[in-house]
């Protein structure tokens, strides 16, 4: 029996299986049981011939998912527990499962889609954004490195757009999500109900029908801003260090570049330097699984830093938005500090890349039809 108060609602409409993230008061933030439930459902539907596609959405009016439950991470760190690495281990495995899912995995990225919300949506496809979409990987604001495959996705964005988004944690709308490869189609929010109904209809019997239906409801997205900013973004973020990136941004003489520099300087200096290194390494890693292995190391390493606890306190617990980072300045973060983010964690590596089936060389396992 399914209850409406369950954090993940599963259902069927025609040949389309539904996953609804159902914690609207918490903006559908992911918990460990939610991750396990979604993974179990996908494992079941993968071989179910009566299921042609999966549709992911979020309950409530605010968005798909604001990320992982970082309050739980805060409590776990304070208690000296081991729940966070266990959660990430299963969450990152779910991200890889979504990327390898052999059927259309339609993600409605409507409203706020951040952190873990990107992880459960942007590795599938077709991925749909609306005029209300706000997509971000804001981890540097809480002392973390972008995870859930975020450094994989952002490192594959055109030029240095991904580096810009990873360091600032800035949110993008529909057009810029499409430009950066985080989404596939724009569908106006007023047409989502009709799209849902069409995906449940008798005309949807195989994967090509799903792709065709999504395209039928799609249209051109309102203009974004990143395409016009490519020149200064590419020039500034190609620098070798965070300090030099900030210097170039401030010297660019452009209000948007100055704003980016000022935003970066509010983020955790340690997380910023680890993030830049993670992004550069992710570009050289051939598959999503390999990048998730790296992100597991960076996330576990963050648990041993003071900035993670402090960042969550400032942004989520006390909400004073005034984190006291340690070290306080970029120049005080040493190469050894950064290197620690890329060493095996105390509980051992994730090892997902060693277990993954043969991929397509682009990070996916068995290629899923995406657009």
Q: Tens digits of per-residue pLDDT, 76-129?
A: 999 988 999 999 999 999 999 999 999 999 999 999 999 999 999 999 999 999
Strand partners, 111: 63
Annotated catalytic residue 68: yes
Q: What is the pTM of this model?
A: 0.94
Using one digit for the tens of pLDDT, what is the confidence trace for 47-86? 999 999 999 999 999 999 999 999 999 999 999 889 999 9
DSSP conformational letter for 316: I
CA atoms of 283 and 302, how far apart (whole Å): 21
pLDDT grade, residue 370 (50/70/90)?
Answer: very low
**Active-site position among 139, 289, 295, 307:** 139
**Nearest-10 crossing angle of helices 255-264, 242-251:** 150
Mean pLDDT for all residues in the chain: 94
Torsion from C-alpha of 358, 362, 365, 368, nearest 10 degrees: -140
Residue 307 neighbours by CB distance under 10 Å: 23
**Active-site position among 63, 68, 143, 311:** 68
Which of 166, 148, 172, 168 is closest to 275 using CA atoms?
166
Mean pLDDT for 10-24 is 97
Annotated catalytic residue 253: no
Asked which of 80-84, 207-211, 319-323, 342-346 is least confident by mean pLDDT, the reply is 80-84
CA atoms of 154 and 16, how far apart (whole Å): 30
**Active-site position among 14, 58, 115, 116:** 116
> How many residues does the structure list for the chain?
371
Check whether 365 has a pLDDT greater than 70: no
Annotated catalytic residue 116: yes
Which of 99, 122, 97 is closest to 109 using CA atoms?
122
pLDDT grade, residue 193 (50/70/90)?
Answer: very high
Q: How far is CA 313 from CA 61, 71, 144, in A?
A: 26, 9, 13
Annotated catalytic residue 80: no
**Active-site position among 147, 184, 277, 293:** 147
pLDDT score at 371: 54
């Amino acid at each position: 029996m399914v209850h409406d108060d369950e954090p993940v609602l599963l259902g069927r409409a025609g040949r389309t299986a539904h996953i609804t993230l159902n914690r609207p008061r918490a903006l559908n933030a992911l918990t460990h049981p939610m991750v396990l439930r979604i993974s179990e459902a996908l494992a079941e539907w993968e071989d179910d011939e009566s299921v042609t596609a999966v549709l992911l959405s979020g309950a409530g009016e605010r968005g798909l998912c604001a990320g992982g439950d970082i309050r739980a991470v805060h409590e776990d760190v304070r208690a000296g527990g081991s729940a966070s690495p266990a959660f990430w281990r299963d969450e990152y495995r779910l991200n890889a499962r979504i990327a390898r899912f052999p059927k259309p995995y339609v993600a409605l990225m409507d409203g706020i889609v951040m952190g873990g919300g990107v992880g459960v949506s942007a590795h599938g496809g077709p991925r749909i954004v609306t005029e209300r979409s706000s997509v971000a990987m804001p981890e540097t604001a809480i002392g973390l490195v972008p995870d859930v495959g975020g450094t994989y996705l952002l490192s594959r964005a055109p030029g240095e757009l991904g580096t810009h988004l990873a360091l600032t944690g800035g949110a993008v709308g529909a057009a810029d999500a499409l430009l950066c490869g985080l989404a596939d189609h724009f569908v106006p929010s007023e047409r989502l109900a009709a799209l849902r109904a069409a995906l449940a209809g008798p005309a949807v019997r195989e994967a090509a029908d799903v792709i065709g239906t999504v395209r039928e409801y799609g249209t051109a997205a309102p203009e974004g801003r990143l395409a016009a900013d490519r020149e200064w973004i590419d020039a500034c973020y190609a620098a070798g260090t965070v300090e030099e990136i900030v210097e170039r941004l401030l010297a660019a003489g452009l209000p948007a570049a100055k704003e980016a520099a000022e935003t970066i300087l509010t983020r955790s200096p340690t997380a910023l330097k680890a993030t830049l290194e993670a992004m550069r390494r992710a570009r050289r890693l051939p598959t999503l699984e390999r990048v998730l292995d790296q992100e597991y190391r960076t996330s576990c390493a963050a648990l041993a830093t003071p900035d993670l606890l402090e960042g969550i306190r400032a942004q989520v617990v006390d909400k004073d938005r005034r984190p006291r980072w340690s070290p306080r300045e970029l120049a005080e973060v040493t190469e050894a500090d950064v290197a620690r983010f890329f060493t095996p964690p105390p509980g051992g590596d994730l090892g997902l890349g060693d277990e993954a089936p043969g991929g397509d060389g682009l990070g996916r396992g068995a290629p899923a039809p995406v657009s």
